Amino acid sequence: MSIFDPVYIGIDEFGHPKRVPLIERNMLIGGEPGSGKSGLLNGVVAHAALSLDCRLCLLDGKRVELGQWRKCADVFVGPDIVEANKTLHRLQIMMDNRYAYLESCERRKIKPADVFTAYLVAIDEIAYYSATVGSKQQREEFSTRLRDLVARGRAVGIIVVAATQRPSSTIIPTDLRDLFAWRFAGRCTNDSSSDIVLGHGWAQKGWSANVISPNNPGAGLLIAESGSPELVKVAFLDDRTCAAIAAYAATLRATAAGMVTPLRRPRPRAA
């Protein structure tokens, strides 16, 4: 599996598989509590964890949503704004170094099997870091650094996938939202929240995530940079499945890093 492969996220309204290319793109996931945001985020992280050409950096204010992937991740940040800002800063430094490298070899973007690996930065609850914990200055620092990563990270393989419970313009300013190539709106409390995720004016054209039933978590509207929203139902990985995939991915990673000897089949004994 590779991060250059489109990521399977569920089915569309015709029952066809929906796959989204994530390399050189970012994804914003919005919706009210219980609308299935963490479910989608987990599906994306599962694909990335199984892709040995992608490293993981996870930020999760609740700790338990992405906690199962901890052993596959380079960095796991819990409810700690100082740690979150430090991590984003380190990612910015890495991003700048990668651009310096590309410049030196007269290239413009990451390619499959590149000398540097892609990086998935998964954030559950942007609002926790950008509007809840720490001082105003720390929260602003978080938003500024995140915006920079979303704006400049694409070409050097940094993919930001971020979920937010309260899609309001103070949490995701419009200019930041527009930087996300993929946007998914699970059920939203009103049309304006839906528009904040999908883009202004979609509710008026009949595309509002407010019409999704509260009893249908994982259903939502998905929109790409240029296109119309599409109704999708996200595939759901339950706790046991996530744990099993995470354990397998961790072994794959450890084996690839030479830390574990791969299991060998016993040789058949001579008769």
Residues that bind Mg ion (CB under 5 A): 37-38
Least Cβ distance, residue 153 to ligand ADP (angstroms) = 24
d(CA 49, CA 221): 25
d(CA 63, CA 220): 24
Q: Which amino acid is at 244?
A: A
d(CA 40, CA 34): 12
Q: Which is nearer to Mg ion, 21 or 79 (CB)?
A: 79
d(CA 97, CA 182): 26
Q: Which is nearer to ligand ADP, 17 or 33 (CB)?
A: 33
Q: Which residues sit opposite 56 in a β-bridge?
A: 120
Least Cβ distance, residue 99 to ligand ADP (angstroms) = 34
Find the binding residues for ligand ADP in span 194-253 (CB under 6 A).
217-218, 234, 236
Q: Which one among 26, 35, 130, 143 touches ligand ADP, defined by CB under 6 A?
A: 35
145: CB partners within 8 A, 6+ apart: 85, 88, 89, 92
Least Cβ distance, residue 42 to ligand ADP (angstroms) = 8
Residues 114, 99, 173, 28: what is their CA dihedral angle, to the nearest 10 degrees? 0
Q: Which is nearer to Mg ion, 38 or 130 (CB)?
A: 38
3-class DSSP state for residue 25? coil
Cβ 74 vs Cβ 56: under 8 Å: yes
Select the binding partner of residue 34 from Mg ion, ligand ADP, none (C-beta < 5 to 8 A, by kind): ligand ADP
Select the binding partner of residue 193 from ligand ADP, Mg ion, none (C-beta < 5 to 8 A, by kind): none
Give the closest residue to 24 by CA, choosing from 113, 119, 157. 157
Q: Which one among 7, 9, 23, 38 touches ligand ADP, defined by CB under 6 A?
A: 38
Q: Which is nearer to ligand ADP, 18 or 98 (CB)?
A: 18
Q: Which residues are annotated as a binding site for ATP?
A: 31-38
State the binding string over 39-58 for ligand ADP (x if CB under 6 A, else -). Answer: x-------------------
